[in-house]
Amino acid sequence: MKQIFAFSLSILISFSLFAQNDSSHKRGGFFKKATSILSKSSDGSSDLSKTEIASGLKEALSRGAQKSSAKLSMTDGFFKDAAVKILLPKEVQNVESKMRMLGMGKLVDNAVLSMNRAAEDASKQAAPIFLAAIQKMTITDAVNILRGSDTAATSYLRGATTPRLIAAFKPVIEESLQKVKATKYWNDVFKTYNRFSNEPVDTDINNYVTTQALNGLFYYVAQEEVNIRKNPAARVNDILKKVFAN
C-alpha cells in the first residue's frame, strides 16, 4: 500500500511541476489531456499513442474540410451567409455607396452576387485539395496541435497549405468567375465608376475572390474542429471519441 501511495504521489508531483513550468501552453491544453489520459490508463491499458493522435486530428480536419466544402458549395452558401459573404473590398466600399447614389446599384448587386456564385462554384473542388494536404500532416505536427488551442488543427492546415491551396484553387476561381460572368460585372462596375472618379479603381478580382473564398472555407473548418473538441455528440467514430475525450 505504501508503495502504491508513493508511486501515485510521485506522479502527481511530476505533473504539478510540469504544469508550473509549461507557461506556453494554454489552460486545458496538453496538461489537461495528459492528466485525462493518465486517469484513464490506471487500469493498465496503454496510453493514447502518437499515431492515434495523428489519426484523430486528420479525421477531425477531414470532416471539417468536407462539411465546409459541402456547405459553401450550395447555392447561396456564400451569398446568404453573413459570416462568409463576399462583399466589395474594404478599400473600395466607398465606391459602392457612390455608385448607388448615381443609380447604378444594379451593377453593384450583379458584381457582388457573381463573386459569391464563383466562390460557391469553386468550393465544389475544395475538399480534395484539403484532404490531400491533411494526409501530409506528420505525427510531430499532430502532437503539437493537440497541445494547442481549439482551432490549432485548422491554423496548422492554413499555415502549412495556403500557398499550395491558392495555386490549386485560383484557376478554379478564375474559371468560375468567367462562368458566372463575375469578371464582366466587376469590370462594368469600375469602368462605369471610373467615368465619374478622379481616382480610378483597379482591383484584381481573381486574387480577391480566391482569398475570400478560402477564408470562408477555413472559417467553417475551424467551426467543425471546435465542435468536435467541445461536443461529444460530434465525435461520430471511435478514434474521434478517444483522441478528443475530456
Give residue limits of the domains in the chain.
1-45, 48-243
Q: Which of 126-140, 164-178, 191-205, 219-233 has the lowest mean pLDDT?
A: 191-205
pLDDT at residue 124 above 70?
yes
pLDDT at 42: 35
Residue 85 has pLDDT above 90, yes or no: yes
The residue assigned the cell 503539437 is 144
pLDDT tier at 90, thresholds 50, 70, 90: confident
Report whether pLDDT(97) > 90: no
- Across 210-223, average pLDDT: 92
Contact 120, 80 (CB under 8 A): no
Count CA atoms closer than 13 A to 129's CA, side-chain side: 24
41 pLDDT band (50/70/90 cuts)?
A: very low
Give the whole-angstrom CA distance, residue 157 versus residue 209.
Answer: 20
